[in-house]
Amino acid sequence: MSVLELRGLNKSFGGVHAVRDVGFAIGKGEFLAMIGPNGAGKSTCFNMINGQLAPDSGEILCEGRNIAGLAPRDIWRLGVGRTFQVAATFGSMTVVENVQMALISHARETYRLWRPASSHHRARALELLAQVGMEDVAFRPSRELAYGDVKRVELAIALANDPKLLLMDEPTAGMGTSERHGLIELVKRLVVERGISVLFTEHSMDVVFAFADRIIVLARGRLIADGDAATIRDNEQVREVYFGTGKTFALSASQGAKA
Amino acid sequence: MTLDAFLFQVLNGLSSASGLFLIAAGLSLIFGVTRIVNLAHGSLYMLGTYIAYTFATKIGGVTGFWGGIVATALIVGALGAAIEFVLLRRIYRAPELFQLLATFALVLVINDFALWLWGPADLLGPRAPGFRGAVEILGRRLPSYDLFLIVIGPLVLLALHLTLTRTRFGRLIRAATQDREMVGALGVNQAVLFTSVFALGAALAGLGGALQIAREPANLATDLIALGDAFVVVVVGGMGSIPGAYLAAVIIAEVKALCIGIGTVDFGFVTINFSKFTLVAEFLVMAIVLIARPYGLLGKAQGAVRSIAEPEEPIRPATPLLKAFGVAVLAVLVCLPLLAQSSPYVLVLGIDVLIAVIFAASLHFIMGPGGMHSFGHAAYFGLGAYGAALLVKWLAWPMGAALIAAPLLALAGALLFGWFAVRLSGVYLAMLTLAFAQIVWAAVFQWEGFTGGSNGVIGVWPPPPFDKSWVYFLLTLVLAVAAVLLLRRFLFAPFGYAMRAGRDSPLRAEAIGIDVKRVHWLGFAMAGLVCGVAGGLFAFAKGSISPETIHINRSIDGLVMVLLGGVQTLTGPIAGASMFALLQDTVMRQTEYWRALMGAIILLLVLTFPQGIVGAFASLWRKVGGRT
């Protein structure tokens, strides 16, 4: 059974049909990229999967269970983690407390009133921070972190509930090239180790073509292609819709491979 | 009720709706453009009644009345412009909490100004020249002035609508309501726009007030009553929407008029006097609208609420130094009864301070870590105080039982009101909490048979040995220490962290499985519970309780205490409450114009001391490098 399967998903805003009959599936451990030009419906799709939007029609099956229309927190409880396009943390907490908060919630200890939060799951939180290379700043206020570090901390938070699926909305937006590859390599290593599936949207094609196991392409709300990097690169429709200029992905892909 | 009687009440309702609309429209316009909720709007309305009264009686005749109404609108409009120019311009970038407080400071100052100039007595204006008679409609006599008012509301609505849609000024207002920054970027002189919008809104409030003098006397209490009404109308109609304001004004006024029209109904098993339920009806309308449409009938969702001014430091456990200081203060307090022989007033003062500490600590709990700026914390204080007093009066409960019941009653109220409040944020939450507190106050005030009305409840004295002030002081001390330590414990526990997570970023908190509304709702309830302890203690400390002790002023006192100490620190509310209570019991007792003095203190605080005392010390401490 697929970790996540979308069937005939639709969403309109007023007169704009943002997502039309989109359907695809993610297998276990798959690293799936969703690409498409601006306005293709990526964010709408994403927000329906993570619960911020309810679809007009269609099903979103998480290991066979329909999660369409559930609240974000309930979807998270089913083992779907997420990171945000613009990364941020809980600014009034230290880095390790941010991770502890997620662990506390995962253990359903949110309503505990007595033992200090800082003593809950501290070791596990430090371990997660070590995995993303952030153990040195664990006790700093999280709002003092550099943006790239915030992205890593956010990843540690997203891993706190042992997700089977990780949704990453433009995980490398706002980062420099080397930082970008460092982060994606880290994600890839962690998900391979843990057998997590990942669905991510991305604007930098170098990252997509260098790391994704499979790519799906959206344009004007429709799914127009689904396949591995080579298939997508040679797809006539993708070239036409995506660039319209006849330019291919070959150049950026080779750059990505070198980096 | 016959059909005729029903239609007659509908007409009555429409004439009240015009008054409600005029004040709400101004409030809504000002908020739409400047994003400031002008708490002084009711005060401008009140000034309108006084100024128009002066014109109508000093000049008299047609000129004095009708000319006076026009002149009043212009004068109040000019005053509004002056307020914007002198005060608000300095705080557009400040957190909204400070804006609300600054405009509330104006409420206090204007109220004392009116007291000074016009005196405390109600002033009834003359009847309107040309509209002295009554018209016979449906077999009943309706004052012709009411018919005039029915017409004036839609006329002003039409005029505003044409101004907003057909003039350049109106287009700028609409553009600024939608995207203030863009209007600035397009090279529009925002300063002039803001001042003129504020003047227009103020003029509408002045006009609304001036038109009322032929119906109701000018009175010093109208400022807050008008403000409460305007809030309900604006919340129901939707912030920034002028047609919404009229629609809501009509609905609210009609519901109230119909309640009065229905009067007493015998259901066989129970008799209900509906005319006593006008406020409850108003509340129900608001509650229903907020559940169905959180941003009002014709309103739109607001953008993200501005966060607090300074980024907040992570909370740390108390340092040994702070612990030692706390123990020292406690030791002094425990020894305070020894002073009782020489100066008994010290203990009375001490009890006041401790009650203020409980009150402020509970408010800080939701205001700081919860980010919910409640402008109606007096409601839970009142539920506790009245709950305890009424249980003693009607059921002769002993003090111990009453003191346990007090917080539970406050908890029940906080659970009910909080359920609605946490669905909103920012200014909407502030207005809703304030409206709830006004409802509690008004219920106590109107329900004379049960609560004693304006006389309150007397004879709530503690039994021996608590009748000795030193024993009662120690009881208060024990409860205050317990409350403060307990709330502190909660803040360090997962629940407190979840509250802060929900405040820092609701979206992210939800994305890690935290039910933010539920957490904030329970936080709100806990604050209500602890606040009820303060209320219960207060009733027995004073031996009596009256509506004015649970008025909106107490809610604002709480905000000032928390801000005085510093909203971002955990010890701030304790220091702030102590200082405030000491100030109030000493300096403010000396003058008749304590409201104006209080207003001045708030303005000083907002303009020069935004971090509060403890906050300022803490950042100074960090600057000199003294980390412990």
For A196-217, what is each residue's pLDDT tens digit? Answer: 999 999 888 888 988 899 999 9
B502 touches A: beta carbon within 8 Å: no
B502 vs A contacts (CB less than 8 Å): none
**Cross-chain Cβ contact A161/B512 below 8 Å:** yes
Structural domains of chain B sorted by starting position, each given as residue range(s) with its CATH number in brackets: 3-292 (no CATH), 352-623 (1.10.3470)
Q: Is the domain of A175 the same as that of A252?
A: yes
How high is the pLDDT of residue B283? 73
CB neighbour class for B328 (10 Å; exposed up to 12, middle 13-18, buried from 19): exposed
Domain identity same for A130 and A239? no
A5 contact partners, CB below 8 Å, separation of at least 6 = A23, A24, A25, A26, A59, A60, A61
Closest by alpha carbon to B486, among A113, A119, A92, A120?
A113
- Selecting from A73, A84, A92 the residue whose C-beta is nearest the C-beta of B513 gives A73
Instruction: Give the tens place of pLDDT for each residue, A125-136.
Output: 999 999 999 999
Which of B254, B265, B264 shows the shortest CA–CA distance to B9? B254
Which of B315, B492, B495 is closest, CB to CB, to A111?
B495
Q: A57 and A109 share a domain?
A: no
Quick one: average pLDDT of A186-191?
90
Contact B494 A110 (CB under 8 A): yes
Residue count (chain A)? 259
A241: helix, strand or coil: helix
DSSP assignment of B115-143 equals HHHH-SS-BPPPPPTT--SEEEETTEEEE
CB contact under 8 A, A97 and B312: no
A109 contacts on B by Cβ (under 8 Å): 494
What's the pLDDT at B611? Answer: 67
Same domain flag for A15 and A82: yes
pLDDT tens digits for range B204-224:
999 999 999 888 899 998 888
Do A83 and A96 belong to one domain? Answer: no
Write the CA distances from A248 to A35, A181, A230, A231, B510, integer angstroms. 15, 22, 11, 12, 40
Looking at the complex, does the CB of residue B593 fall below 8 Å from at least one CB of chain A?
A: no
In angstroms, what separates the C-alpha of A40 from chain B's closest C-alpha?
Answer: 24
pLDDT exceeds 90 at position A72:
yes
Q: List the single best residue of B500, B508, B569, B622 to mutate versus A (max A Cβ within 10 A).
A: B508
How many beta-carbon pairs under 8 angstroms link A with B? 110
Q: pLDDT-derived band of residue B305, with 50, 70 and 90 as boundaries? A: very low
Number of structural domains found in chain A: 2
| Per-residue pLDDT band at B302 (split at 50, 70, 90) | low
Residues A168 and A244 placed together within one structural domain of the fold: yes
* pLDDT tier for residue A176 given thresholds of 50, 70 and 90: confident
pLDDT at B31: 86
Give pLDDT, residue B431.
79
* B514 touches A: beta carbon within 8 Å: yes
Q: Decide if A156 is inside a domain.
A: no
Distance from CA of B369 to the nearest CA of A (A): 9
Q: Which residues of A touch B (CB under 8 A)?
A: 50, 71-73, 76-77, 82, 84, 88-94, 97, 100-102, 104-106, 109-118, 120, 141, 143, 157, 160-161
* Contact flag A93-B497 (C-beta cutoff 8 Å): yes
B505 touches chain A (CB under 8 A): yes
The pLDDT of residue B608 is: 79
| CA A111 – CA B115 distance, rounded (Å) | 50
Mean pLDDT of B382-392: 96
B231 beta partners: none
Judge whether A44 lies within some domain.
Answer: yes
Which is more confidently placed, A121 or B447?
A121
Residue B151 has pLDDT above 90, yes or no: yes
Looking at the structure, tell me whether residues A167 and A250 fall in a common domain: yes
State yes or no: pLDDT of A240 exceeds 90. no
Specify the residue for token string 């000024």: B169
Place A85 in a pLDDT band, splitting at 50, 70 and 90.
Answer: confident
Cis peptide before B462 (omega within 30 of 0): no
Residue B356 DSSP symbol: H
pLDDT value of position B308: 43
In a domain, A153, yes or no: no
- DSSP track, A133-200: T-GGGTTSBGGGS-HHHHHHHHHHHHTTT--SEEEEESTTTT--HHHHHHHHHHHHHHHHHHT-EEEE
Domain of A253, CATH number, reads 3.40.50.300
CA distance A50 to chain B (A): 8
For all residues of chain B together, what is the average pLDDT? 87
Say if A154 falls within a structural domain: no
Q: What is the mean pLDDT of residues B184-196?
A: 85
Alpha-carbon dihedral angle through residues B66, B69, B74, B75, given to the nearest 10 degrees? 120
Residue A242 and residue A134 share a domain: no
Q: How confident is the model at residue B122 (pLDDT cuts 50, 70, 90)?
A: very high
Determine the pLDDT at residue A207: 87
pLDDT, residue B303, reads: 53
Does the distance separating the beta carbons of A110 and B514 come in below 8 Å? yes
Q: Is residue A152 part of a domain?
A: no
Residue B503's pLDDT band, with cuts at 50, 70 and 90, is very high
The residue among A104, A140, A150 with the most chain B CBs within 10 A of its CB, best to mutate, is A104
Number of neighbours of residue B190 by Cβ within 10 angstroms: 17
Whether A127 is in a domain gets the answer yes
Tell me whether residues A89 and B522 touch, CB distance under 8 A. no
Quick check: B515 and A90 CB within 8 A? no
Q: Which of A184-188, B339-343, B600-604 has the lowest mean pLDDT?
A: B339-343
Condensed to tens digits (0 to 9), the pLDDT of residues B44-76 reads 999 999 999 999 999 888 888 999 999 999 999
A178-187, A244-253, B370-379: range with lowest mean pLDDT: A244-253
Contact A111 B494 (CB under 8 A): yes
**Contacts with B505 from chain A: Cβ below 8 Å:** 88-91
Look at residue A253 in the predicted model and tell me its pLDDT: 46
Question: Would you place residue B304 in the very low, low, confident or very high pLDDT band (cuts 50, 70, 90)?
Answer: very low
Rounded distance between C-alpha atoms, residue B447 and residue B443, angstroms: 6
How far apart are alpha carbons B95 and B426 in whole angstroms? Answer: 10
Q: What is the pLDDT of residues B529-581, one digit of tens each?
A: 999 999 999 999 999 999 988 888 899 889 888 888 888 888 889 998 998 88
Of B59-68, B264-273, B487-496, the least confident: B264-273
State whether B511 and A113 contact (CB < 8 Å): no
Are residues A181 and A78 part of one domain? yes
Is the domain of A129 the same as that of A199?
no
Instruction: Considering only the beta carbons, identify the residue of A82, A94, A104 that sits closest to B494.
Output: A104
C-alpha dist (Å) from residue B200 to B63, B160, B216, B350: 23, 10, 24, 48
Among B489, B498, B514, the residue with its CB nearest the CB of A114 is: B489
Closest chain A residue to B503, measured at CA: A90
* pLDDT, average across residues A29-44: 90
Bridge pairing between strands A214-219 and A31-35: parallel
Flag if A141 and B314 touch (Cβ within 8 Å): yes
Q: Is the peptide bond before B120 cis (omega within 30 degrees of 0)?
A: no
DSSP state for residue B186 in the 8-state scheme: T
State percent of chain B over pLDDT 90: 46
For residue A51, what is the nearest residue in chain B, using CA coordinates? Answer: B511
Higher pLDDT, B293 or B410: B410
Token digits for B244? 């919404």
Same domain, A194 and A236: yes
Taking the CA atoms of residue A52, residue A58, residue A60 and residue A63 in that order, the dihedral angle to the nearest 10 degrees is: 160
Per-residue pLDDT band at B435 (split at 50, 70, 90): confident
Task: List A31's β-bridge partners, or say none.
Answer: A198
| Residue A239 to residues A215, A250, B107, Cα–Cα distance (Å) | 14, 11, 65
Domain residues for A99?
92-144
Is there a contact between B66 and B131 (Cβ–Cβ < 8 Å)?
Answer: no
Quick one: B301 exposed, middle or buried, by C-beta within 10 A (0-12, 13-18, 19+)? Answer: exposed
Chain A positions in Cβ-Cβ contact with residue B513 (cut-off 8 Å): 73, 76-77, 102, 105-106, 110, 161
Residue A65 lies in a domain: yes
User: What's the pLDDT at B98?
Assistant: 81
* pLDDT at res. A99: 97
Whether residues A98 and A208 share a domain: the answer is no
Query: What pLDDT does residue B306 have?
Result: 41
Q: What is the amino acid identity at position B401?
A: A
Q: At what angle do helices B190-212 and B168-178 cross, to 10 degrees?
A: 100
Range with the largest mean pLDDT of B301-315, B371-385, B436-450: B371-385
* Among A75, A101, A103, A143, the residue to mutate for chain B (most B Cβ within 10 A): A101
Mean pLDDT (chain A, rounded): 89
Chain B residues close to A137, C-beta within 8 Å: none
Residue A150 counted as domain residue: no
Q: Do A5 and A25 contact (CB within 8 A), yes or no?
A: yes
Q: Are the C-beta atoms of B573 and B360 separated by less than 8 Å?
A: yes
User: How close A90 gets to chain B, by Cα (Å)?
Assistant: 5
Which residues in B lie closer than 8 A to residue A76 (C-beta atoms)? 510-513
Nearest Cβ partner of A97 from B497, B507, B509? B497
Instruction: Check CB contact under 8 Å for A110 and B311.
Output: no
